[in-house]
Chain A
Amino acid sequence: MRIRVLYFAALAEQVDCRSEELETNAASASELIEVLRARGDPWRSAFDSRTQVAINQHLAKQADSLGDGDEVAFFPPVTGG
């Protein structure tokens, strides 16, 4: 399936990427993280258990499933306010 992936803040700087379109079989955000980490550094060390996820602009969990056409965003813990 085809998904759009967005990266923000320190994570985007670390992987030097803000967005990309991907063709993938990853069924969940955590599976997608493994696909991205398999690219090697800097991707390999950019994600951990604290990495937050949004799916279609709603806060989600790493375990949540992905669907065709989804917009997935990865970012460090938020620091607004």
Chain B
Amino acid sequence: MVRVQTDDFDVSSVLGELCHDRTDVGASVSFIGYVRDLNLEVDVEAMHLEHYPGMTEKALAVIVDEALTRWKLTGAAVIHRVGELRPPDQIVLVAVTSAHRGDAFSACEFIMDYLKTRAPFWKKEQLKDGSSRWVDARASDDEAAQRWDNSETW
């Protein structure tokens, strides 16, 4: 399941959908990202999430498909919000189910690391002094994604 939306989401109903009518799920792992009130030592009042309509869903689906190829999963869901958000709003949900926790933990982290470097979203922060600035991509996100390129999970 891949969704790009302005509305908020509820992790327990998404997990409920992933597990619905199944008895083969042994583990679920979920990650939620939130809007924080502080970035680079400056107070953030609000954030605007821009995206590439059409490509965004495709890019997330490609990442989820790769996770399904690399690990034995029973399901995966990504929901990413766009538009205007404020601290402490939820931004993104990645939820993964599997027979075993190892695959679920790894796949969830993998999807987030690839989302951070390959999904067409851009964040613009509105600061308390009225100014705004685009968030810069982080080298640490590139490094996190690269370790999956080199890993032996195939």
Chain A interface residues toward B at CB < 8 A: 6, 8-10, 50, 54, 57-59, 73, 75-81
Inter-subunit contact A54/B120 (CB<8 Å): yes
16 examples of A-B residue contacts, CB within 8 angstroms: A57-B55, A58-B62, A73-B52, A75-B52, A75-B122, A76-B137, A77-B136, A78-B121, A79-B121, A79-B123, A79-B137, A80-B49, A80-B116, A81-B92, A81-B116, A81-B119
B residues contacting the other copy or chain, number (CB 8 A): 28
CB contacts (< 8 Å) of B49 on chain A: these are: 80
Inter-subunit contact B33/A76 (CB<8 Å): no
Task: Please measure, in the bound complex, the distance between the C-alpha atom of A80 and the C-alpha atom of B59, giving whole angstroms.
Answer: 12
Query: Smallest CB–CB gap between A74 and chain B, Å?
Result: 11
Task: Please measure, in the bound complex, the distance between the C-alpha atom of A50 and the C-alpha atom of B142, giving whole angstroms.
Answer: 12
Assuming the contacts A79-B137, A80-B80, A81-B92, asked whether A9 and B50 have C-beta atoms less than 8 A apart, the reply is yes
Of the residues B52, B124, B137, contact of A77 by C-beta under 8 Å? B137
Residue B67, interface by CB 8 Å: no
Inter-subunit contact B52/A80 (CB<8 Å): no
Task: Please measure, in the bound complex, the distance between the C-alpha atom of A58 and the C-alpha atom of B52, giving whole angstroms.
Answer: 11
Inter-subunit contact A59/B122 (CB<8 Å): no
Residue B128, interface by CB 8 Å: no
Inter-subunit contact B120/A80 (CB<8 Å): yes
Task: Please measure, in the bound complex, the distance between the C-alpha atom of A78 and the C-alpha atom of B56, giving whole angstroms.
Answer: 11
Question: Using an 8 Å CB-CB cutoff, how does the interface string of B52-78 with A read, 1 for contact, 0 for none?
Answer: 101100110010000000000000000
